[in-house]
């Protein structure tokens, strides 16, 4: 819950700065939501940002699926249940800030989910 205010790379490691501290690491994964600031807004243009739309779905857990203790993934994923529901997905569309829910993407996610455990 700390905004990234600056980032630099010295050829070996990254240094990430927040208002309260700085962190050093060999790799950085900076996860942002659709309404997060852009690289230009946050002085972190050294990071190779890519905007990716990913539509997910949520379904109620069954007595059988509640036994899932870790995410299962491949071309798609399903997470363990939380508060009686599973999250699954996700589509992967580069350079899209579209927030619309699409039935065809839901169908793609469900079809991909079936491939995680084919009959």
Any idea where the domains of the chain sit in the sequence? 6-42, 52-116
- What's the chain's average pLDDT? 84
Distance (Å, whole) CA 112 – CA 103: 14
Distance (Å, whole) CA 40 – CA 23: 21
Where is average pLDDT lowest: 46-55, 69-78, 81-90? 46-55
Tokens 């950085």 correspond to what residue? 28
CATH topology of domain 52-116: D-Amino Acid Oxidase; Chain A, domain 2 (3.30.9)
Q: Report whether pLDDT(7) > 70.
A: yes
Mean pLDDT of 84-97: 91
Q: Report whether pLDDT(119) > 80.
A: no
Half-sphere exposure of 54 (CA within 13 A, CB side): 15
Neighbours of 10 (CB within 10 A): 8
Mean pLDDT of 20-38: 77
Q: Cα–Cα distances in Å, from 12 out to 9, 17, 80?
A: 7, 17, 37
Q: What is the pLDDT of residue 68?
A: 94
Using H for helix, E for strand and C for coil, what is the string for 62-119? CCCHHHCCCCEECCCEECCCECCEEEEECCCEECCCCCCCCHHHHHHHHHHHHHHCCC
pTM (2 decimals)? 0.65
Q: Indicate the pLDDT class of residue 95, thresholds 50, 70 and 90.
A: confident
Neighbours of 60 (CB within 10 A): 10
Neighbours of 118 (CB within 10 A): 5
Span 33-61, pLDDT tens digits = 666 655 555 555 666 677 788 899 999 99
């Amino acid at each position: 819950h700390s905004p990234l205010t600056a980032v630099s790379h010295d050829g070996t490691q990254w240094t990430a700065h927040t208002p309260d501290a700085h962190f050093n690491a060999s790799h950085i994964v900076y996860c942002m939501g659709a309404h997060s600031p852009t690289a230009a807004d946050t002085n972190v243009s050294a990071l190779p940002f890519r905007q990716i739309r990913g539509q997910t779905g949520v379904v109620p857990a069954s007595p059988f699926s509640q036994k899932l203790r870790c995410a299962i993934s491949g071309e798609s994923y399903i997470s363990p249940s939380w508060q009686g529901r599973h999250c699954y997905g996700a589509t992967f569309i580069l350079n899209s800030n579209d927030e619309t829910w699409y039935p065809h993407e839901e169908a793609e996610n469900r079809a991909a989910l079936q491939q995680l455990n084919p009959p």
